[in-house]
Structure 1
């Protein structure tokens, strides 16, 4: 994602999938030509968007295979300027390359306009991988290196899936909100951290929740800008800023700075402050009161997973992690918020819709083609409205679709649009 990338002007498309020699074969692999990542230099035409697929571990390769097929449809049928490349990441990278972050992978990351990420197994139990190597190849490290500070997690009640939610239909119907989670600061990155043994033999664990004023200011501006954009689309365009300022000094600072940015630059945007514990309750009680929720790294992680049950499954939630906008666009990482699900990996039953909807976010945020993003989102709505379900969405004992069959259904819906 080098700074030298300008927005492509032409509508020329090409699709190249790159993978290491140990890549799993899938239906997607048979449909898209594959070439060794080492066989071609890292270059990109000014007329194309280079998107790097990092399938990762667990169900990542399965769901990202369907993303590749959907991207190919947009290339062929909608003539979008897309070039896809692929590298291993996570434990798959260690197995294929002997490194969690080889130079070739980092070069591809730097050269890409955006990253499409699948899932990653925990490295904590990877005892054969040196600790330093584990830190180098972590997803947290990747986000920090790219400075993708704003994590967007949309929560939308899909009409065909209302009965999959554990909440009442009247509570979830019509919900359309988005979390803006600060992603590169807070307790996940704060120092000091670690576990030490005290002189008396007790252990003490330490994590530090820390934010600087500029980190809060930039994510607040991002949320307010998003609210303005959503208001222009006919949505409420209000912001709820969530913290624990009643017991945490960093939370009190967060609230004060968000209010200051609002008063100085965004007086036209409706702003409310809410404590994190109250927000968790309100998400279940009446989620339709929310439009944009901006919060820190930890609370955003917890609350957005809570909001996932509005849609009925973690397998439905996409996300986008974005950097500040420079003269040549943003760095961006798109990923489903579900994990690697090792218990179902390789069985072909994973839900690919969150990964596919993450690609829809890429169409909107990186390619800046909201109409194409809406085309894909409508196709997903149609598929679910027709009753298609993967195992995570199906009623117990009912028939369900495989990962590839769900991808087929989305492609068929796109073809009918």
Structure 2
């Protein structure tokens, strides 16, 4: 039986995780063999055990086939030392799990096309996937720090990638493209960065094993422009950690709301960490206002990549789209004059649609 660990975290986390629990309970009632565990992370970990990634949670992570995490952070913990900040819990669990490939689908829903800041014709039918390397690059490279030199402070970080790191993330992108439209665009800055020169050379070499997948290369500054100019030209975008961090947040707004997008961070054996890409939204926490759809869609990604249940993932995606097509809207995706649904109402509506689809 598969083990799934739920980490509600902070802010709106408990509210949106409650909707994910409803979906999981429904799936279990329909025969999905699953053991559900729960733990604390982020500010909740600090409050319960004094650290953002408690040992009790680490022990549960070691047992899990997949981890479903809502969000971490909030003003309550802003003044803590760096090592006790809630965000450190997120970095620690990613490192503990060894998840190196971050997958962010960006798919437009026709009924929400007016929500995007781009023209309707640019985003209707949009369906792209960003594959971001998650454990290397400038965020983790050594040396790093802040030092005194010649009477003033300097800050420095090291952008670093090994051939092995590049090769394994490139394979993830090519495999994903094979199941989609067979096109990979690799993003780098090879005109000025040696790290990116190596990135391009290794990605090009890996492409030889995937003759059925078209590979193109693009400099990151141009890629940022093209995501706005013609986003539907992309299928799979392959990026390093720094560039992927920036481009994936840019792409998230193409659909009209960051509250609609899930993500998966996985390793070779299928174990993964699944989370919505939005933050903890402490300004609306506890008010039953948060959009739970990215959280629910993260459950879908977990089913697809870690639990080997792609058909159930598709049913969740269909249920979410059906609810949106019915006109249900939380505040972040509502237009002027539309009735606003609560977090609970949105979650219950998705479950009602999913119940119908499971009965077919």
TM range (shorter): over 0.9
The counterpart of 2:178, out of the listed 225, 228, 239, is 228
Task: Give the TM-score, by structure 2 length.
Answer: 0.95
Contact kept, 8 Å, 1:101 with 1:136, in 2: the verdict is no
The counterpart of 1:410, out of the listed 338, 341, 350, is 350
- Segments of 5+ residues of structure 1 without an aligned counterpart are 1-47, 231-235
Residue aligning to 1:82? 34
Q: SS at 1:383's partner residue?
A: helix
Contact kept, 8 Å, 2:40 with 2:54, in 1: the verdict is no
The counterpart of 2:328, out of the listed 378, 382, 388, is 388
The counterpart of 1:291, out of the listed 235, 240, 245, is 235
Q: For 1:66-215, what aligned pairs fall within 5 Å after superposition?
A: 66-76=19-29, 78-121=30-73, 126-128=78-80, 131-133=82-84, 137-200=88-151, 202-215=152-165
Q: For 1:337-352, what aligned pairs fall within 5 Å after superposition?
A: 337-352=277-292
Q: SS at 2:161's partner residue?
A: coil
Q: SS at 1:209's partner residue?
A: coil
Contact kept, 8 Å, 1:160 with 1:386, in 2: the verdict is no
The counterpart of 1:253, out of the listed 198, 201, 207, is 198
Query: d(CA) in 1 for partners of 2:184 and 2:290?
Result: 34
Contact kept, 8 Å, 1:135 with 1:141, in 2: the verdict is no
Q: CA deviation at 1:189?
A: 0.8
Alpha-carbon RMSD across the aligned residues, in angstroms, is 1.8
Question: Aligned pair in 2 of structure 1 residues 377, 135: CA closer, same or farther (>3 Å)?
Answer: closer
Q: SS at 2:327's partner residue?
A: coil
Q: CA deviation at 1:104?
A: 1.9
Query: d(CA) in 2 for partners of 1:101 and 1:322?
Result: 19
Residues 70-115 of structure 1 deviation map (CA, whole Å, 9 limit, x = unaligned) = 1111111x21011211111111111112333332211100000000
Question: 2:9 matched to 1:56?
Answer: yes
Query: d(CA) in 1 for partners of 2:57 and 2:328?
Result: 36
- Structure 1 stretches (4+) deviating beyond 4 angstroms? 122-129, 131-137
Question: Aligned pair in 2 of structure 1 residues 175, 136: CA closer, same or farther (>3 Å)?
Answer: closer
Q: SS at 1:260's partner residue?
A: helix
Q: CA deviation at 1:141?
A: 2.2
Contact kept, 8 Å, 2:41 with 2:86, in 1: the verdict is no
Query: d(CA) in 1 for partners of 2:204 and 2:58?
Result: 38
Contact kept, 8 Å, 2:43 with 2:86, in 1: the verdict is no
Question: 2:256 matched to 1:312?
Answer: yes
Residue aligning to 2:167? 217
Q: CA deviation at 1:136?
A: 10
Contact kept, 8 Å, 2:46 with 2:86, in 1: the verdict is no
Q: CA deviation at 1:199?
A: 3.6
Question: Aligned pair in 2 of structure 1 residues 137, 285: CA closer, same or farther (>3 Å)?
Answer: closer
Q: CA deviation at 1:126?
A: 4.7
Question: 2:215 matched to 1:271?
Answer: yes
Task: Give the TM-score, by structure 1 length.
Answer: 0.82
Bigger proportion of residues as helix: 2
Query: d(CA) in 2 for partners of 1:93 and 1:224?
Result: 37
Contact kept, 8 Å, 1:238 with 1:270, in 2: the verdict is yes
Q: CA deviation at 1:128?
A: 4.9
Question: 2:184 matched to 1:239?
Answer: yes
Q: CA deviation at 1:347?
A: 1.6
Query: d(CA) in 2 for partners of 1:125 and 1:246?
Result: 41
